[in-house]
Structure 1
Amino acid sequence: MAALSNTHLQIFKDKGWFGDGIANSEFVSGVGTNFVGLAIAGAYHAGIRNYDVELAYQAVKANELSYKNRPIGSGKLDTKAFVENGFVPFLERQGDDFVTDSTGSNFSGSHTLEYSFSAFAAAQMAKAMGKTGDYDKFIKLSNGWRQILNPQNKLMQPKKANGSFIEKFDPYQPWRGFQEGNSVQYSFYVPQNPAGLVDAIGKDNFNNRLDSIFTVSEKLGFGGGKTIDAFAGVNSIYNHGNQPNLHTSWLFNFSGKPWLTQKWTRAIGRDFYGTEPIHGYGYGQDEDQGQLGSWYVMNALGLFDVKGFTDLRPIIELGSPLFEKVTITLGNGKTLTIETKNNSKNNVYIQSATFNGTSLDNCWLYRDDLMKGGRLTFVMGSQPNISWGTKIPPPSAQ
Structure 2
Amino acid sequence: MCAQKQLTGEFLVDFDPFAPWVGFQEGNAWQYTFYVPHTPEELVSTMGEEKFVNRLDSIFTVSEKTKFGGEDIDAFAGVKYLYNQGNQPNLHIPWLFNFTNKPWLTQKWVRRINDEFYGTGEIHGYGFGQDEDQGQLGAWYVMSAIGLFDVKGLIETEPSFQFGSPLFEEVKIDVGGGKTLTMRTNKNGPQNFYIQSILLNGKPYLKKEIPLKELRDGAVLEFTMGSTPEPGLFKMTEK
Fold in common (TM above 0.5): yes
3-state SS, counterpart of residue 280 of structure 1: helix
**More RCO (CA 8 Å, sep 6+):** 2
**Letter of the 1:365 counterpart:** I
- Judge conservation of contact 1:319–1:363 (CA < 8 Å) in 2: no
Q: Deviations over 1:318-364 (max 9, x none)?
A: 11100011111013431000000100010000111011122111121
TM value normalised by structure 2: 0.97
RMSD, matched Cα: 1.2
> Using the alignment, how far apart are the partners of 1:266 and 1:300 within structure 2?
8
Equivalent in the alignment of 1:232: 77
Matched, 1:342 2:198: no
Q: Deviations over 1:351-395 (max 9, x none)?
A: 11011122111121111112111200111000000121252354x
Task: Please list every run of 5 or more consecutive structure 2 residues that lacks an aligned counterpart in the other structure.
Answer: none
Task: Please list every run of 5 or more consecutive structure 1 residues that lacks an aligned counterpart in the other structure.
Answer: 1-154
- Judge conservation of contact 1:353–1:376 (CA < 8 Å) in 2: yes
CA pair 258-393 structure 1, distance change in 2 beyond 3 A: farther
Q: Is the radius of gyration larger for structure 1 or structure 2?
A: 1
Equivalent in the alignment of 2:228: 383
CA pair 169-333 structure 1, distance change in 2 beyond 3 A: farther
Q: Deviations over 1:236-263 (max 9, x none)?
A: 0000000001000000000111100000
The alignment covers a number of residue pairs equal to 239
- Judge conservation of contact 1:258–1:390 (CA < 8 Å) in 2: no
3-state SS, counterpart of residue 283 of structure 1: coil
- Judge conservation of contact 1:325–1:339 (CA < 8 Å) in 2: yes
Q: 2:56 aligns with which of 210, 214, 220?
A: 210
3-state SS, counterpart of residue 120 of structure 2: strand
> Using the alignment, how far apart are the partners of 2:154 and 2:202 within structure 1?
26
**Letter of the 1:200 counterpart:** T
> Using the alignment, how far apart are the partners of 2:48 and 2:12 within structure 1?
24
- Judge conservation of contact 1:256–1:390 (CA < 8 Å) in 2: no
3-state SS, counterpart of residue 217 of structure 2: coil
Matched-pair identity in %: 56
> Using the alignment, how far apart are the partners of 1:170 and 1:331 within structure 2?
50
Equivalent in the alignment of 2:204: 359
- Judge conservation of contact 1:256–1:393 (CA < 8 Å) in 2: no
Equivalent in the alignment of 1:373: 218
**Letter of the 2:186 counterpart:** K
Matched, 1:284 2:117: no
